[in-house]
Chain A
Amino acid sequence: MSALGAASGGGEGINPTASIIGIVIIIAALAITAVMAAPALAAVIGVIIGGALIGFGVHFVPVGGAPAAMGQSPGIATGVAMLAAGAGLAGLFGGAWAAANPAFGIAIVIAAGAVGGGLMMAITCLMVNIVYIFGMGIPAASGKVAKDPITGDSQAEYKSQGTEGHGLPFVSYVGGVIGGLLGGAGGTLIYYELLQVYSAMLPAMFNASAEEILPIAVSLAGIFAVGMFLVNAVLAAYNITGTIEGPHDPKFKRFPRAVIGCAVASAVCGLFAVLIVVV
């Protein structure tokens, strides 16, 4: 219930002081990388971009939390961070699979990760609407906008009395898929960049051949990608505070703040992820 009652905490705008501090932290992290592990600088930049993509993508995912489970608010009835993590990790699975094929370049790997995340969200959102419509007899209705921005369908008259709406209107469905695409792409980008660093640096460290070291490099990059994914998804979830309907929700406008926050967190995480193989 807290998700329903919560007012939009933290305001909408960007705090200039905090943003400057954040940018300073990013620059410091990049400077430390450039001094201590110059070849890994591109990887850390990739990790920062990946983190920002995840933070941006999470804002597209329509999440209704506990009220959605009672048909009291639109969206998917689970937590923001958790759903985004589920989709992003499904994308990471696809991206890692493509990355294992040496013939594929970075574009294919990222696209494979993005489509994996988008597919997970497309299926989940469809099943949510199937349960709402065929299991509970409830048509989708948004509580935040009068008309669906994509289809132009009016929403208010389909909304049950005493609720904020229910189900997934088409705009939320599209938002979910875009969120999955961005999350999958961001997670895979982090994985791919770290994998390049680890497979280049670990063989010299352990004095072993590249083939012998590959499983360790894959595991290390994978676990860091999963961890950073959760960091960014939770940060973005804090920015959303509770529930969001998708790209048409007024809360969506808060995304620049999350993108800055996620970039800063990713810079610091990326720095440590790189330092463990050079120090």
Chain B
Amino acid sequence: MAGALATVAGAAEDTESNIGSQGDPNSQVQLAPQMGYIHRIYNKAVSGEPPAYGLWVTIGAGVAWAFMATGMNPVLAIVIASALAIFVQGVYAATAYLGRTSSLAKFEQPVYIDLLKSVTSVTMAHAFVAVFTTVSMCYLLNAALGHPFPLPLLGIVWGIALGAAGSATGNPFYGKERQYQSQMFGAGVPISASGNIVRYAEAGQRSSLDNGWFTAKLGGPASGVCFGLIVFLELWRTVLFEEAVGGWGAIIVGVIIILIFMIIDRYIETWARKNYGPYVKAEEASA
């Protein structure tokens, strides 16, 4: 169940960060107006995803812990605490968008108030899902599985890990596949194209909400699988094998799992080299 919660958390985290344009691909959102490309993409990356999620999840976990100390029902405590943490996220998102976008005023990038109204609430909703599921997961680790860390400390640990897993897995898909959708598929974006992000949709200008819709197809679920696997396998090996072989059981199983993932990685790496072949220059490819 903790693994399932983590999977939902990972997916929601990545979608939230892409709608709000946090994480590394946002460097291009910030760069575009400086290269003369005015856009309507949200822009809230005043910090990386891991510390931001560390903050929100820890607020959620800390407030939930305080509520539970007063005797409140855990489910209610986690819901209310997550909602309170999301108000912090909303203030963060709104001030970050206004601050970062207004810093681009000399490049004639406008601040769109309608964008602030429509996108902020959507990122808050996704962040609520991510924070609620992560705090619930931390509660289960502490209350059901007996981890020694108190809830707020688990919030820091897993909030930062959630942001790290989500940004590592989801960022390339948002950056390369979505922002640079116009560039060739199957190749990296040439450095000379930096800043020339896709700014128009089928009708009118592209909104950040479209980016969430797009990345929810692969980047979001992949981040979810990544974080879910981390949490599930970590718990699975510890709960089942901790007592085996004089305490070394969980460690041996962990090493075996790492080796299995290493073999899978090597397999898909060679699969890609064999099936995709070496890089071919654009003019030769079109000929």
Q: Which residues on A are within 8 Å of B, measured CB to CB?
A: 1, 4, 65-72, 76-79, 82-83, 85-87, 89-90, 92-94, 96-101, 103-105, 108, 111-112, 115-116, 118-120, 122-141, 151, 153, 157-163, 165-166, 168-170, 173-174, 177, 214-215, 218-219, 222-223, 226
Q: Judging by beta carbons under 8 Å apart, are A100 and B148 in contact?
A: yes
Our pick among A79, A92, A118 for the contact of B48 (Cβ within 8 Å) is: A79
6 more A-B contacts (CB under 8 A) besides A71-B176, A139-B269, A159-B279? A70-B194, A71-B175, A77-B23, A87-B161, A89-B158, A140-B269
Main secondary structure of the interface of B (DSSP, over half): helix
B24-41 contacts to A (CB < 8 Å): 24-25, 27-28, 31
Q: Known contacts A70-B175, A85-B160, A93-B234; is A222 also within 8 Å of B191 by CB?
A: no
User: In the complex, which residues of chain B have a beta carbon less than 8 angstroms from the beta carbon of A86?
Assistant: 50, 160-161, 163-165, 168
Q: Judging by beta carbons under 8 Å apart, are B278 and A158 in contact?
A: yes
Q: Compute how far the CA of A246 lies from the CA of B240 in the bound complex, rounded to whole angstroms.
A: 33
12 residue pairs of the A-B complex, CB under 8 angstroms, read A65-B24, A70-B172, A77-B167, A98-B238, A104-B247, A112-B254, A133-B271, A136-B177, A136-B186, A162-B191, A222-B149, A222-B153
Digitize B260-277: 1 where CB-to-A-CB distance is under 8 Å, 0 elsewhere: 011011101111110010
With both chains docked as a complex, state the minimum distance between the C-beta of A195 and any C-beta of chain B, in angstroms.
9
Q: Judging by beta carbons under 8 Å apart, are A122 and B262 in contact?
A: yes
Q: Judging by beta carbons under 8 Å apart, are B157 and A69 in contact?
A: no
Main secondary structure of the interface of A (DSSP, over half): helix
Q: Judging by beta carbons under 8 Å apart, are B194 and A90 in contact?
A: no
Q: Compute how far the CA of A134 lies from the CA of B48 in the bound complex, rounded to whole angstroms.
A: 26
Is B258 part of the contact surface with A, judged by Cβ < 8 Å? yes
* Range, interface on chain B: 35 or more
Greatest chain B CB density within 10 A among A104, A131, A226 is at: A131
Our pick among B157, B192, B247 for the contact of A98 (Cβ within 8 Å) is: B247
With both chains docked as a complex, state the minimum distance between the C-beta of B220 and any C-beta of chain A, in angstroms.
11
Q: Judging by beta carbons under 8 Å apart, are A76 and B168 in contact?
A: yes
CB nearest to A71 among chain B residues: B188
Q: Judging by beta carbons under 8 Å apart, are B157 and A78 in contact?
A: no
Q: Compute how far the CA of A104 lies from the CA of B192 in the bound complex, rounded to whole angstroms.
A: 56
Q: Judging by beta carbons under 8 Å apart, are A131 and B173 in contact?
A: yes
Q: Compute how far the CA of A76 lies from the CA of B172 in the bound complex, rounded to whole angstroms.
A: 8
